[in-house]
Amino acid sequence: MPTETPGAPLSGPQEPTLDEQIAAYQREYGDLDPQVEKVVSALGRLNRRMNVAYGRQLADLGISNAEWEVLKTLVLAGAPYRLGPGELAKRLGLTPAAMTHRIDRMAAEGLVTRDRDENNRVRVIVELTDDGRTKWLEAMRMASTFEEDLLQDLAGDERALLGDLLTRLLRRVEHDQPDAGGRLTDLD
């Protein structure tokens, strides 16, 4: 009976290499452009693996990806790191109900506060707490280390070129799919 080593990857079918995947696609769909497929498949795999790595880092900090998205959005809003729940929901592509659920959870964890606007008692303001900002900074430090390691084999000019090329691809998608920034379904 085989034994498993703690922390070792589970054995099972391995994901095909990019070349194996492209060969299979070409076999089934003869009009496939292998250069295009290699680029988009590599980007997809890289994105998936980066999301797993980021998710692990966030879990180590005791926050979820959903909570990270709110922290990031409040930081991007600038000091004093406040937004209304409706604006947060809009920026994150969430329904108001999903946003309320997320804010409830984060307020209970001390990452944000939710108070009435002093100038308009009907309006609610969500504000980043010191603990929330500390979590955001810790996540940024961890992500920076991971990202530097990820790009260690690329020289400065290669990093700049890759950044420019990916930005061009992003602009194309944003132009052709202007509504693709939101989510199709809530993540909570």
pLDDT in tens, 106-115: 999 999 999 9
pLDDT in tens, 23-52: 999 999 999 999 999 999 999 999 999 999
DSSP calls for 75-144: HHH-TTTEE-HHHHHHHHT--HHHHHHHHHHHHHTTSEEEEEETTEEEEEEEEE-HHHHHHHHHHHHHHH
* Listed residue (94, 112, 77, 48) closest to 187, CA to CA: 94
pLDDT in tens, 55-67: 999 999 999 999 9
The pTM (predicted TM-score) of the whole model is: 0.77
